Amino acid sequence: MVEAPAIQADAPPAPPCALVIFGASGDLTKRLLMPSLYNLAHEGVLDPNFAIIGVDRVEHTDQSFREHLTDAVEELAAKNHPIDREVWQWLVSRAIYITGDFDGAGAYEQLKERLASRQTDVGDANAVFYMAVTPRFFATIAEQLGAADLLTESDTAFRRFVVEKPFGTDLASAKALNARLLAVAEESQIYRMDHFLGKETVQNVMALRFGNGMFEPIWSREYVDHVQITAAETVGVEQRGRFYDATGALRDMVPNHMFQLLAMVAMEPPNSFDADAVRTEKSKVIQAIRQMRPGEAATHVVRGQYRAGEVLGKPVADYREEPDVSPESHTETYIAIKCMIDNWRWNGVPFYIRTGKALATRRTEIAIHFKRAPGVLFRENPDCTLAPNVLVIHVQPDEGISLRFAAKVPGRKVRLAEVDMDFRYADYFQSAPSTGYETLIYDCLSGDPTLFQRADNIEAGWAAVDPILKATAAGMIDVHGYAAGTSGPTMADVLLAQDGSQWLPLERERPR
């Protein structure tokens, strides 16, 4: 076996473990999981006894599986940055493969034999089962693992499994899936992954709030006018038309990604960084999101669908003309929602959420709009109109934090202008290439569930959007067209304008 390369890590190696990937021949494995594992190996945080066991219906030997992974990583490396051959060889030499169906007992018997052999060879019985498969297999695989006695833990061995989103399609299906998973495993063994939470800036929201005495005292309804959370994409549905037309922007993004960003911003301070302490506070916030009455959905929600246009200089077809999309589709590719949180800290403060595809620019950010300062001092000076202060947390693609405030323009006359202070992570910290999965995989191997969702968190998110799904099914919320390459439907602007606010422009330059 190839020896581990000598690399200085900034964290202790994760415990020895076999990472079992169901769907090992699929796109998620080659595009994200293996590059992430390579980055972790390059950091030196994988144990010398770390192993990969691929499981899929596609025929492979151990050697052909390794060659398949190598081809995929080299293709990505050609587009991004060269790989360290020594590190990659160390990692891929630990990969073996099992061919079998997910719903048949044969693959699980082979897996049990491989894990038993590993325990004999290296004395390690730890295993993490990663479901890189379509959601319809989540419960099936978990139940087969349970039937094969592969989820039983001991004092010397852990067993965990990772579930990617989407976790259900509505409240009823999420509850049903949770019930099936919890019938064969403990909550502590289930890691429900949302890759948004692996981004450094998202995790730094807590550091910004709770590590700085200047922010936490003003992080409440007394000082905050409203909050905007944006996740804009330039890509359309591409080759995912069949999945997306049955799902839409609401199901795809809001109960998971968007509500997790909301929870990080709005949660109460946990009493520690213990996983359950953090997740409990996040769950409380999502449970406090006001569920809309049937008539409210029409005034609190805007649905959009992109039409033909141009994004970043390239033509984009009408959504209804995309492959595998119905020409009569009413599925939304854009959604904006006005959320209210019924708790003491945020009572009366709107949280506006927007997310969509084929928009003018790629941008994920959280914007805290503070209330205007009393303008008594400047009320008679037309050059001194006070704009509200805005704190923007840039999640992607250019991670950092900006603060907009008023300052006097140099000169004899008193005039005010808006200025920005801007912090970019790249200017202060040297970061290694990342897919966004590295932290989450490392935490799962290490047994830290802080950034993963509990069952109550998942169900609370679906409970908040369930009235919107029902109103949409009843035809109460129209879908508005918007040209690809714009900021979305004009009705989304009306959503804020009726409250006297406006979105931050998607197309704007960060200050330098």
The annotation status of 165 as a binding-site residue, yes or no, is yes
The sign one gets for the Cα dihedral 185, 191, 194, 197 is positive
The sign one gets for the Cα dihedral 424, 425, 431, 434 is negative
Residue 257 known to be catalytic: yes
The annotation status of 252 as a binding-site residue, yes or no, is yes
The annotation status of 168 as a binding-site residue, yes or no, is no
The rounded distance, in Å, linking the Cα atoms of 19 and 425 is 31
Closest CA to 495 of 509, 508, 477: 477
The annotation status of 79 as a binding-site residue, yes or no, is no
The annotation status of 195 as a binding-site residue, yes or no, is yes
Q: Is the separation of the CB atoms in 199 and 436 below 8 Å?
A: yes
The annotation status of 31 as a binding-site residue, yes or no, is no
Catalytic residue among 42, 60, 257, 394: 257
Q: For the CA atoms of the chain, what is the radius of gyration?
A: 24
Label the pairing between strands 363-370 and 334-340: unpaired
Q: How many CA atoms lie less than 13 Å away from 473 in the CB half-sphere?
A: 9
The rounded distance, in Å, linking the Cα atoms of 56 and 102 is 7
Q: Is the separation of the CB atoms in 18 and 118 below 8 Å?
A: yes
As a dihedral over the C-alpha atoms of residue 73, residue 78, residue 79, residue 85, rounded to 10 degrees, the angle is 50
| Beta strand residue intervals within 134-177, DSSP E | 159-164
The rounded distance, in Å, linking the Cα atoms of 403 and 420 is 6
Q: In what order do the strands lie in the sheet with 479-483?
A: 416-424, 400-408, 390-396, 363-370, 224-232, 350-356, 334-340, 301-307, 479-483
The annotation status of 509 as a binding-site residue, yes or no, is no
The annotation status of 274 as a binding-site residue, yes or no, is no
For 119-135, give the DSSP string.
HHHHS---EEEEE-S-G
The annotation status of 371 as a binding-site residue, yes or no, is no
Roughly what angle, to the nearest 10 degrees, separates helices 241-253 and 455-473? Answer: 110
Q: Is the separation of the CB atoms in 59 and 29 below 8 Å?
A: no
The annotation status of 150 as a binding-site residue, yes or no, is no
The annotation status of 358 as a binding-site residue, yes or no, is no
The annotation status of 60 as a binding-site residue, yes or no, is no
Q: Which residues contact 84 (CB under 8 A, 6 or more apart)?
A: 5, 42
The annotation status of 23 as a binding-site residue, yes or no, is yes
Give the annotated binding-site residues: 23-30, 57, 101-102, 165, 195, 199, 233, 252, 357
User: Which residues are designated catalytic?
Assistant: 257
Give the annotated binding-site residues for NADP(+): 23-30, 57, 101-102, 165
Give the annotated binding-site residues for substrate: 195, 199, 233, 252, 357
